[in-house]
């Protein structure tokens, strides 16, 4: 009977039942079989309201969607080109920084490819970069800003950890993500210089007038990270306050200063951002109920004993964790992966003596690469649609960048200093 119920849930999941319903069904069946009141599920959902950090999710998401509705991407590219176009590999560096900055602001990897792809891809090819290299760079760079504040995946990881009574400060997570994100950008820039070492690349001469004009045009949007980082790291604002001020600030500049977001676009940004956040919250609440069931059943302890009998070295555990997360990243959305896997991985990692802040960076960095990991990395399909290229061509274009970023992830995994230097 028990197996029949779980088999039925598995069949429904394969037929397309939403993930939160799959998790709630498993939790409900498990609690019923254990003769526990199903009110536990409602309690777990209600527990989410205890998290003050949770308020930051919809506010940052709304700000990000608003920015994606405006011409922020074009202004970011212009100011990057004006200031850095004269450097060796200038256009390549512009693409890397513009994508990282835009993803940092919007929180959406696929959004970056859609918004900036039409600008950066032809700009790279017109600067004499190889077509395959340009395609791979833009596709890969779409996820670069996920580790930079206000990193919604890191906020979500922190919320999950706090719900498990594991003390993680969101500000620590923001600090921990800075160096790994910078390392990824520098690694890709270095690879790009090496890959194009024999090819004459067109440079954009520096013009002070153009630089000042671009800075003036982008001034209000360039202040956004200053508001977020300055407010949080100075101690003047907590995360939820910074999110509220950011959302209000973006609303004002995009509707009243730049006047690029009209009423319809504003309503669309509200609707789409809240749909995304609602989905995250539903999955998160269901995952917490599911996690409660696993804890009651002693699954984390069982997993640790099972792994501990075979793996004693934390370095080997981290290697296996990287492989698992890369696979999950290719198939699962980053938010779903965090709320499902973090509750299982956190206790195991802490038993091996791994700092939870370090673990959060490992987790999100791997999931970032999963966006363009074959066979079903989301960015591959978005780029294929955006640039009208066969998916196999995207595979060939991105694999060198994938190898470079894998190397960075291994460095971040095995040298905790990169994640913890600014924190500890």
CA–CA distances in Å: residue 45 to residues 38, 163, 249, 287, 382: 12, 11, 31, 9, 33
Question: 313 phi and psi, to 5 degrees?
Answer: -90, 120
The 3-state DSSP class for residue 102 equals helix
Q: Is the dihedral of CA 272, 274, 279, 280 positive or negative?
A: positive
Q: What residues does each domain of the chain span?
A: 37-420
HEC string of 319-385 equals HHHHHHHHHHHHHCCHHHHHHHHHHHHHHHHHHCCCCHHHHHHHHHHHHHHHCCCCCCCHHHHHHHH
Question: 196 phi and psi, to 5 degrees?
Answer: -110, 25
CA–CA distances in Å: residue 298 to residues 24, 40, 291, 292, 344: 19, 17, 10, 10, 11
Which position has the token pair 């991985």?
345
pLDDT tens digits for the chain (424 residues)?
A: 566 776 777 777 777 777 677 777 777 777 777 777 777 777 767 766 666 667 777 888 888 788 778 887 778 778 877 877 777 777 788 888 878 877 777 666 566 777 677 677 777 777 778 888 888 888 888 778 888 887 788 888 888 888 777 878 888 998 999 999 999 999 999 998 888 877 666 566 778 888 888 888 888 888 888 888 788 778 788 778 888 898 899 899 989 888 888 888 899 888 888 887 777 777 777 767 776 676 666 666 666 666 666 777 888 888 888 888 887 777 777 777 887 788 888 888 888 888 999 999 999 998 888 877 776 677 787 778 777 788 788 888 888 999 999 999 999 999 999 999 988 7
Q: Is the dihedral of CA 210, 69, 143, 162 positive or negative?
A: positive
* b/e code 36-46 from CB counts within 10 Å (16+ = b): eeeebbeebbe
State the pTM of this model: 0.76
């Amino acid at each position: 009977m028990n197996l029949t119920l779980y088999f039925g849930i598995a069949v429904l999941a394969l037929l397309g039942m939403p993930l939160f319903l799959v998790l709630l069904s498993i939790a409900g069946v498990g609690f019923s079989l254990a003769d526990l009141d199903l009110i536990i599920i409602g309690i777990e959902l209600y527990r989410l309201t205890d998290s003050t950090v949770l308020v930051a999710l919809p506010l940052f998401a709304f700000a990000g969607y608003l920015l994606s509705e405006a011409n922020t991407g074009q202004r970011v590219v212009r100011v990057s080109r004006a200031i850095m176009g004269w450097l060796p590999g200038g256009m390549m560096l512009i693409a890397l920084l513009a994508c990282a900055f835009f993803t940092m602001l919007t929180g959406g990897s696929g959004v970056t490819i859609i918004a900036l792809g039409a600008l950066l891809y032809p700009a790279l090819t017109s600067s004499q970069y190889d077509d395959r290299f340009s395609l791979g760079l833009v596709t890969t760079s779409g996820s670069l800003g996920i580790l930079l504040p206000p990193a919604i995946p890191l906020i979500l990881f922190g919320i999950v950890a706090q719900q498990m009574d594991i003390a993680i400060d969101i500000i620590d997570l923001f600090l921990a993500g800075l160096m790994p994100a910078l390392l990824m950008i520098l690694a890709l820039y270095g690879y790009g210089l090496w890959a194009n070492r024999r090819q004459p690349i067109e440079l954009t001469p520096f013009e002070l007038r153009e630089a000042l004009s671009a800075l003036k045009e982008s001034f209000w949007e360039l202040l956004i990270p200053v508001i977020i980082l300055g407010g949080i790291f100075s101690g003047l604002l907590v995360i939820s306050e910074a999110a509220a001020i950011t959302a209000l600030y973006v609303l004002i500049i995009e509707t009243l200063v730049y006047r690029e977001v009209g009423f319809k676009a504003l309503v669309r940004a509200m609707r789409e951002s809240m749909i995304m956040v609602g989905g995250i919250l539903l999955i998160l609440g269901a995952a917490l109920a599911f996690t409660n069931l696993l804890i009651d059943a002693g699954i984390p302890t069982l997993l640790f004993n099972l792994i501990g009998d075979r793996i004693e070295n934390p370095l080997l555990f981290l290697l296996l964790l990287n492989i698992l997360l890369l696979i999950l990243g290719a198939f699962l959305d980053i938010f779903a992966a965090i709320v499902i896997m973090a509750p299982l991985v956190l206790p195991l990692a802490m038993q091996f003596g791994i700092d939870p802040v370090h673990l959060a960076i490992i987790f999100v960095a791997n999931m970032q690469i999963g966006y363009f990991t074959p066979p079903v990395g989301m960015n591959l399909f978005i780029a294929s649609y955006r640039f009208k290229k066969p998916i196999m061509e995207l595979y060939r274009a991105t694999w060198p960048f994938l190898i470079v970023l894998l190397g960075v992830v291994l460095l971040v995994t095995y040298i905790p200093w990169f994640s913890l230097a600014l924190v500890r």
